[in-house]
Amino acid sequence: MRATTTDGKAFSAGGIMLIVIALLVLSLVAMGIFFVRSGQLAEVDQTYITQLGEQKVLSQEIAKLASEASRGRLEAFNALQESYTAFDKILGNQMVATGDLPAVKKLGHEWESYGKNINTILQRREVVTSMRSYINGINEQIPTLLALSDEVVATMTEQGAPADQVYIATRQLMLTQRISSNVSRVLEGGEGAVTAADRFGRDAALFGQVIHDMLRGNPARRIQKIRTPSERAKLNLVQKQFNQIRNQVGAILDRSPEMFQVSGAAEDVLSNSSNVKKLIEEAHEAYKGVISSRYEPLAAYVLGAVSLALVILLGFLYMRDSKNTLMITESQRRSTEDTNKRNQEAILRLLDEMGDLADGDLTVQATVTEDITGAIADSINYAIDALRNLVQAINETTQQVSSAAQQSQATAMHLAEASDHQAQQITGASSAINEMAVSIEAVSSHAGELAEEANKSVDIAVRGNEAVQRTIHGMDSIREQIQETSKRIKRLGESSQEIGDIVELINDIAEQTNILALNAAIQAAMAGEAGRGFAVVADEVQRLAERSGDATKQIEALVKGIQSDTKEAVSSMESSTAGVVKGAQLAQNAGEALEQIENVSKHLADLIRNISDSARQQASAANNISDTMNVIQEITTQTSAGTNETAASIGNLAELANELRRSVAGFKLPG
């Protein structure tokens, strides 16, 4: 009976030990499962946080693209659609994974209104592209309209039109410039877009009405009908050019309300982008709370402690079983004293070796012998090896992650600083290029004006040369008349006092002719606008010649055989002839000088025109470079912002790795 009791107790103790061993194995397996699960969740968390960072970038990119799309940049529509789809896809994944988080719910509600504005922009793509096409067409035709209107003003000024009419024509230039300015404001949107559209419509209507009134007259507006053929021809060209713009003006005004909806949606997207970014940051903080509330890492460590406690309990059970065996089998104790002693020593040795394990010392190695504790020691060693490898893997992984995160963070910060410095340099270069473009455009404008002035100088020189040639021909006619008069004077004879008076009159005429010849020479030397004076001098010479002819006829009627004083009269006429010849020579010299001036002016006009063309090409190239620099600056700014956010995320990862390493710092490893 006692043996049966002893066997029952032994079986009971052995069953408990088996249960403890089974629990130990289960605890170790569960601990491994929880550690693996923690690693998987860490990857999920990293993906989630990365997507939050992408959402933050996408929200700001969407706001920027919405603004650019509303201004008619066609490439922005496709990019906006892609960014919107990417953000919506990420948000859908977040709603599935963490849709119960209040921050994620708020983000979803905000995204609904945000998405409506984006859809408004995308759905009215045809409106924006049409408006951009109309506006580009107007801007392409405005320079021609300005040039034609300026020609109208110049023609009216040259024709001596009334000042009020010239003012009305000049006002057309101002209206044309305002039309160009306001039509661009309509596409830009903003608070002044509605006002710009209204002013644009009124200016276009007024421009067309004024052209109509100038061609047909409008007393109510105090606009006289233009009757000069050259002025009317210019006005007809202006009206024809404006008729090409009129249809585009009507289309812009008809579609302005839809365009204002697009602009309003873009402004709402831009104003709400900061709120979306804030909600994304709140979702980020909320998910950090989810990460910190996870039980898997803590459960793994608790199971490790439970496993350690089970090992200690297993040793305790072995010791208690040995004591019970000694108490029950007193008779057998003597025969098995040595065996029990070895068992006791083995148990004590095992307990002694396991004492440091309870303090987290994983360098402990249980001695495996053939004693009763050999199998236990072997199992404990296996468990310790597994736990040691696990802790070593955690330490190595956290150290590698921390080191890589620090290096990545340093690299990211360096990149961010470099991007900021690059953005500053690009900003300075862009400003300098813009200033250079403005200077080149000013040079081009001045060169164009100089070319026009040079062309005018050529025309004036041509007219002056023609006037000089006419003067020379007039001088030759005068010389021939004087020579004819000299021949007739030689046939004169002596006559009465009346004949002397007539001869004196002829002498006066000769002197005046000489003076006029000298004046003509001076006028030829002066050239320029003074060429008009040649006509006056020629008329005066002609009248004097007629008076000389009349006097000659009187002389022929009064005397036929006068011979006295003929020598003196002939001498006077020869002197006059010499003066006329000299004047003709001076006029010829002046004509040659004017011809040289004409050639030089033509060459100068060609040079100035080449300078103007080169300046326009340089201005266009400078504007293209400025646009490219602005695009590079924008990309650099985005890169800098993304690098800063990456550095912050890497810093968080390094902090998590350090926290994990501190959690296993209590374990002591060999070496």
Q: Evaluate whether 559 touches 514 at the Cβ level (below 8 Å).
A: no
pLDDT > 70 in the chain, percent:
57
> Which residues neighbour 447 within 8 Å (Cβ) at sequence distance 6 or greater?
608, 609, 611, 612, 615
pLDDT at 535: 46
Tens digits of per-residue pLDDT, 596-636?
776 776 777 777 777 777 767 777 776 777 777 677 777 77
pLDDT at 596: 76
Per-residue pLDDT band for 1 (boundaries 50, 70, 90) equals: very low
pLDDT at 12: 62
pLDDT at 390: 77
- Cβ neighbour number for residue 556 with a 10 Å cutoff: 12
Rounded to an integer, the average pLDDT of 475-499 is 65
Per-residue pLDDT band for 206 (boundaries 50, 70, 90) equals: confident
Q: Write out the H or E segment, with its range, that includes residue 360.
A: none
Of 321, 323, 315, nearest to 366 by C-alpha is 315
For residue 224, which phi and psi values (nearest 5 degrees)?
Answer: -85, 150
Could you give the CA distance from residue 159 to residue 157 in angstroms, rounded to a whole number? 5
pLDDT at 630: 75
Rounded to an integer, the average pLDDT of 463-475 is 73
Per-residue pLDDT band for 144 (boundaries 50, 70, 90) equals: confident
> Which residues neighbour 99 within 8 Å (Cβ) at sequence distance 6 or greater?
105, 108
Give the pTM: 0.35
**pLDDT of 3 higher than 50:** no
Could you give the CA distance from residue 432 to residue 437 in angstroms, rounded to a whole number? 9
Average pLDDT, the chain: 70
List b or e across 83-102, with b for residues whose CB sees 16 or more CB atoms inside 10 angstroms. bbebbeebbeebbebbeebe
pLDDT > 90 in the chain, percent:
0
Computed over its alpha carbons, how large is the radius of gyration of the chain?
Answer: 55
**pLDDT of 312 higher than 80:** yes
Could you give the CA distance from residue 342 to residue 610 in angstroms, rounded to a whole number? 114
**pLDDT of 110 higher than 50:** yes
CATH of domain 129-269: 1.20.120
Which class is 410-659 in CATH?
A: mainly alpha
Which of 3-7, 124-128, 160-164, 319-323 has the lowest average pLDDT?
3-7
**pLDDT of 538 higher than 60:** no
> Which residues neighbour 183 within 8 Å (Cβ) at sequence distance 6 or greater?
135, 138, 139, 196, 200, 252
Could you give the CA distance from residue 520 to residue 579 in angstroms, rounded to a whole number? 11
**pLDDT of 511 higher than 70:** no
Q: Map out the domains of the chain as residue ranges.
A: 129-269, 410-659
List b or e across 233-247, with b for residues whose CB sees 16 or more CB atoms inside 10 angstroms. ebbebbbebbeebee
Rounded to an integer, the average pLDDT of 544-551 is 59
**pLDDT of 523 higher than 60:** no
Rounded to an integer, the average pLDDT of 240-263 is 68
Tens digits of per-residue pLDDT, 264-275?
676 777 666 677
Could you give the CA distance from residue 191 to residue 260 in angstroms, rounded to a whole number? 10
**pLDDT of 26 higher than 80:** yes
Tens digits of per-residue pLDDT, 566-588?
667 667 667 767 766 776 677 67
Could you give the CA distance from residue 138 to residue 132 in angstroms, rounded to a whole number? 10
pLDDT at 145: 74
